[in-house]
Amino acid sequence: MNPDRSPSNADAKGVVLITGASSGIGAAFARELGRRGFDLILTGRRQEQLERLAQALRHTHSIRAEVIIAELADDAALEQLAERVRSEAQLEMLINNAGFGSGGAPFHQQDYAVHQAMLKVHVQATVRLTYAALPTLLARRRGAIINVSSVAAFFPIPYQVMYSATKEFIRAFSEALAIELRGSGVQVQALCPGFTRTDFHARLGADPERFYRTSGPMKAMSAEEVVQASLRCLARGEVICVPGAHNRFVSYLPYLVPRRLQHWLLGHFGRQMAM
Ligand SMILES: NC(=O)c1ccc[n+]([C@@H]2O[C@H](COP(=O)([O-])OP(=O)(O)OC[C@H]3O[C@@H](n4cnc5c(N)ncnc54)[C@H](OP(=O)(O)O)[C@@H]3O)[C@@H](O)[C@H]2O)c1
């Protein structure tokens, strides 16, 4: 697909539905795709942020921007959203971006409800909404699904067991589906950002000023840089999109470092970072 559609060259405007659009990477996708003239459906739980963003985008770009409040860990709310996706005849893109972090403690000592919510938001919602979107996208023989994974998908990370495992699911699911859909006109991307300056780490209690690095392999990118990289990958037809050369280097390490050594390093640094 060609995501570079500005209002002036929009022949038939499509609709983009973004989960987790209230802040960070999701909000940056909304701003960029709104600027390119797509109509938007923005979902999340923080109504005020979503309404403010939708109003600004409507006003600036003369697009349609609708807000849907949905707790994706809630089965009924997810089904309602899936029905909305299924019935959107002009659907052009689905961005499964909603997600959250947890960790810092051993798997068995964390609240099971949080593990369950992560499974639902990262895995179940991504699968359900993708399933709901595909009939329309395939009938139109165009469009894309961007599933937001993480560089964490490339590593089995102790003390973030559920996060790295669910993000690996998203990567593997998207990759296999992309191969299955080759030639259909519908693209699937697994977007795998590294550290990105959003609300994500502040919600885990980190002080953004001290937490984010400005150089080296852990350098944090802006949400806007991540979105630009994702849309460039889409234009090039790349399935796995890792924004930033430093993150691509990190994502190659599992293929270069023997697994036993990886386990030792991950155990050592994982334990240190968890303390
Ligand atoms: N920031 C990073 O360093 C980083 C790195 C790699 C991957 N990622 C991934 O990028 C994606 C976006 O995160 P972000 O960094 O932009 O963080 P963020 O600013 O905290 O945004 C997360 C979004 O997900 C939504 N969300 C979280 N839990 C939800 C739930 N139960 N139901 C519905 N919506 C929910 C939030 O909406 P409400 O709060 O309004 O509900 C928010 O809009 C996530 O999947 C994350 O795993 C982030």
Rounded to the nearest whole angstrom, what is the distance from the C-alpha of residue 121 to the centroid of ligand 1?
A: 10
Q: Which of 163, 212, 252, 255 is catalytic?
A: 163
The domains of the chain are located at 7-274
Whether domain 7-274 has CATH 3.40.50.11810: the reply is no
Cα–Cα distances in Å, from 29 out to 19, 59, 122, 187, 214?
Answer: 10, 17, 18, 17, 23
Which of the 8 DSSP states describes residue 122? I
- According to the model, what pLDDT value does residue 266 have? 93
Rounded to the nearest whole angstrom, what is the distance from the C-alpha of residue 4 to the centroid of ligand 1?
A: 24
Q: Give this prediction's pTM.
A: 0.95
What is the residue-level pLDDT of the chain in tens, covering all 275 positions? 555 544 444 455 799 999 999 999 999 999 999 999 999 999 999 999 999 999 999 999 999 999 999 999 999 999 999 999 999 999 999 999 999 999 789 999 999 999 999 999 999 999 999 999 999 999 999 999 999 999 999 999 999 999 999 999 999 999 999 999 999 999 999 999 999 999 999 999 998 888 999 998 889 999 999 999 999 999 999 999 999 999 999 999 999 999 999 999 999 888 777 65
Phi-psi region of 95 (alpha: psi -120 to 50; beta: other; left: phi over 0): beta
Cα–Cα distances in Å, from 75 out to 98, 120, 127?
Answer: 15, 8, 13
**Mutation test residue for ligand 1: of 18, 19, 25, the one with most atoms within 8 Å of CB:** 25
20 lines ligand 1 (CB under 6 A): yes
**Mutation test residue for ligand 1: of 116, 200, 226, 248, the one with most atoms within 8 Å of CB:** 200
